[in-house]
């Protein structure tokens, strides 16, 4: 039913910093996808830092509100389109009204989510404006009309059946037109039309839901790094890109706090169509995440130092890391180097091994294990 050259592209907030970056992103979308014959469905995040500011606005910060207004107006002016400037002004006025109401009504979760949704809503208008300025036909889709969710405000889950019906209807009416549709990530609405948000990192979830419900093969998650790294490169300088991971591995890494992907993003991929996730930056798409990986790719993929209730631990994630052989291997490394550990945790059905160490050994253990497990030949 669907063309082969269709893909979903999520533009992360880290790429949308200032007025220039909207134009840059639009040009890249054009170069990388449009000019290569791809029909991309774009999922856009809020500009960098805006969602945090909106959370402050909800707490009554006028300064945060001013910051958002200035930031988005600056981008709108840079695009130099009467239409975009007017639209952004309209949305900012509405934002101000909502901000005014939220401070009076105490905690109203639906109003809170509505307030948060402005980050993505305005960002979408700007990206569509930028695409048109670069000569690409773009069309605004509206997440609050398409993505139906339950009523768990601020951490909503997508109602796949209703959403799928909406997406198919829309898809069939625009599939023939030469246009790049752009939708807000992170937001949806309840069946009776109240806006919800999908939780932090929710744009990934929007992207995977759209792809899996429309049977689209590829989801590009575009950000400012080249892919998923074996360890935090700020701590471990020899950290390198992970080429391929399975959903399970990636989900496990998310559950241990890897910032990359919202755990809910895997649900539609598991339940419906298993699209491939491709993560990276405009210069390099370094990591692919697929439903299953072949046996020869089993092994540790990522190591992270985390803390839980004042206990620091290393989380080693990868298919096979909960096997006896792997655990013995890790213990040998630790033993050989005279490190005391406080505990081990591993379940055979989960692709991870947790090594608890006292905080004095934390970094030493991290470097050591990374060296031994990831930097070998």
Partner 1 sequence: MGRRVKVLLIGFGSVGRALAKVIALKRKIINSRYGILIDVVGVADSKGMALKAEGFDEYELLKLCEVPRSGVNLFKPYAHQGVDLNILYSNTQPDVHVELTPSEYTSGEPGLSNIMYAIDRGAHVVTANKAPLVLKYKEIVSRALSRGVRIKFRATVLGGTPFISTLTSMRSHDVERIEGILNATSNFILTEMHEKLVEFTDALKMAQALGIAEADPTLDIDGVDAAAKIVIISNILERPLKIEEINRESISRVSLRDIIDAVRQGYVIKSIASFDVRGGKASIRIAKIPRSELFAQINGVMNGVRIRSDATEVVFIGRGGGGIETAHSVLDDIVSLSFEDS
Contact positions vs partner 1 (CB under 8 A): 82-83, 86-87, 89-90, 94, 97-98, 100-102, 104-106, 108, 110-111, 114, 125, 128, 137, 139-140, 145, 169-170, 172-174, 177, 179, 192-193
Question: What is the nearest approach in angstroms of partner 1 to the Cβ of residue 92?
Answer: 12
Euclidean distance between CA atoms 233 and 205, whole angstroms: 26
Euclidean distance between CA atoms 244 and 294, whole angstroms: 10
Question: What is the nearest approach in angstroms of partner 1 to the Cβ of residue 64?
Answer: 17
Question: What is the nearest approach in angstroms of partner 1 to the Cβ of residue 214?
Answer: 16
> 59 or 284: whose CB is closer to partner 1?
59
> 145 or 292: whose CB is closer to partner 1?
145
Question: What is the nearest approach in angstroms of partner 1 to the Cβ of residue 107?
Answer: 10
Q: What is the 3-state secondary structure (H, E, C) of the chain?
A: CCCCCEEEEEECHHHCCCHHHHHHHHHHHHHHHHHHCCEEEEEECCCCCHHHHHHHHHCCCHHHHHHHHHHHHHHHHHHCCHHHHHHHHHHHHHHHHHHHHHCCCCCCHHHHHHHHHHHHHHHHHHHHHHHHHCCCCEEECCHHHHCEECCCCCCCCECHHHHHHHHHHHHHHHCCCCCEEEEECCEEECCCCCEEECCCCHHHHHHHHHHHHCCCCEEEEECCCCCCECCCCCCCCCCCECCEEEHHHHHHHHHCCCCCCCHHHHHHHHHCCCCEEEEECCCCCCEEEECCCCHHHCCCCEEEEEEECCEEEEEEECCCCCCHHHHHHHHHHHHHCCCCEEEEEECCCCCEEEEEECHHHHHHHHHHHHHHHHCCC
Question: What is the nearest approach in angstroms of partner 1 to the Cβ of residue 66?
Answer: 19
User: Which two structure tokens, joined as six digits, stand for 135?
Assistant: 């000569």
> 174 or 241: whose CB is closer to partner 1?
174
> 190 or 305: whose CB is closer to partner 1?
190
> 193 or 338: whose CB is closer to partner 1?
193
> 43 or 317: whose CB is closer to partner 1?
43
Q: How far is CA 222 from CA 14, 45, 277, 324, in A?
A: 9, 11, 10, 37
Question: What is the nearest approach in angstroms of partner 1 to the Cβ of residue 146?
Answer: 11
> 172 or 345: whose CB is closer to partner 1?
172
Question: What is the nearest approach in angstroms of partner 1 to the Cβ of residue 163?
Answer: 15
> 87 or 248: whose CB is closer to partner 1?
87
Name which of 257, 264, 243, 359 is nearest 311 in CA terms.
359
Euclidean distance between CA atoms 179 and 177, whole angstroms: 6
> 52 or 90: whose CB is closer to partner 1?
90
> 93 or 271: whose CB is closer to partner 1?
93
Question: What is the nearest approach in angstroms of partner 1 to the Cβ of residue 179?
Answer: 6
Question: What is the nearest approach in angstroms of partner 1 to the Cβ of residue 65?
Answer: 14
Residue 42 β-bridge partners: 9, 182
Question: What is the nearest approach in angstroms of partner 1 to the Cβ of residue 142?
Answer: 9
């Amino acid at each position: 039913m669907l063309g082969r050259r269709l893909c979903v592209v999520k533009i992360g907030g880290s790429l949308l910093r200032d007025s220039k970056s909207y134009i840059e992103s639009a040009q890249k979308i054009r170069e990388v996808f449009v000019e290569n014959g791809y029909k991309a469905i774009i999922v856009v995040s809020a500009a960098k830092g805006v969602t945090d500011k909106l959370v402050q606005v909800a707490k009554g910060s006028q300064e945060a509100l001013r910051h958002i207004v200035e930031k988005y107006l600056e981008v709108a002016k840079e695009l130099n389109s009467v239409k975009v400037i007017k639209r952004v002004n309209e949305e900012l006025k509405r934002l101000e009204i909502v901000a005014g109401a939220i401070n009076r009504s105490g905690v109203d979760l639906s109003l809170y989510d509505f307030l948060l949704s402005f980050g993505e809503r305005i960002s979408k208008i700007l990206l569509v404006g930028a695409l048109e300025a670069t000569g690409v036909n773009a069309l605004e889709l509206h997440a609050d009309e398409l993505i139906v969710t339950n009523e768990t405000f601020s951490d909503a889950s997508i109602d796949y059946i209703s959403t799928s019906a909406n997406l198919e209807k829309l898809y069939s009416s625009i599939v023939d037109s030469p246009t790049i549709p752009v939708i807000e990530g992170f937001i949806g609405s309840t069946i009776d039309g109240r806006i919800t948000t999908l939780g932090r990192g929710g744009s990934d979830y929007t992207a995977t839901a759209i792809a899996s419900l429309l049977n689209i093969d590829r989801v590009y998650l575009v950000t400012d790094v080249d892919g998923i790294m074996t360890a935090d490169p700020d701590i471990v300088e020899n950290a390198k890109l992970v080429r391929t991971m399975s959903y399970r591995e990636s989900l496990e890494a998310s559950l241990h706090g890897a910032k990359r992907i919202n755990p809910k993003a895997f649900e539609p991929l598991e339940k419906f169509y298993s699209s491939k996730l491709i993560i990276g930056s405009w210069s390099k798409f370094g990591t692919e995440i697929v439903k299953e990986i072949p046996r020869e790719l089993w092994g540790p993929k990522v190591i992270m130092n985390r803390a839980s209730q004042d206990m620091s631990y290393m989380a080693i994630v990868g298919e096979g890391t909960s096997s006896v052989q792997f655990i013995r291997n890790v213990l040998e490394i630790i033993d050989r180097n005279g490190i005391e550990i406080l505990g081990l945790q591993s379940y055979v059905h989960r692709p991870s091994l947790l090594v608890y160490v006292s905080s004095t050994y934390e970094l030493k253990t991290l470097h050591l294990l990374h060296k031994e497990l990831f930097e070998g030949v």
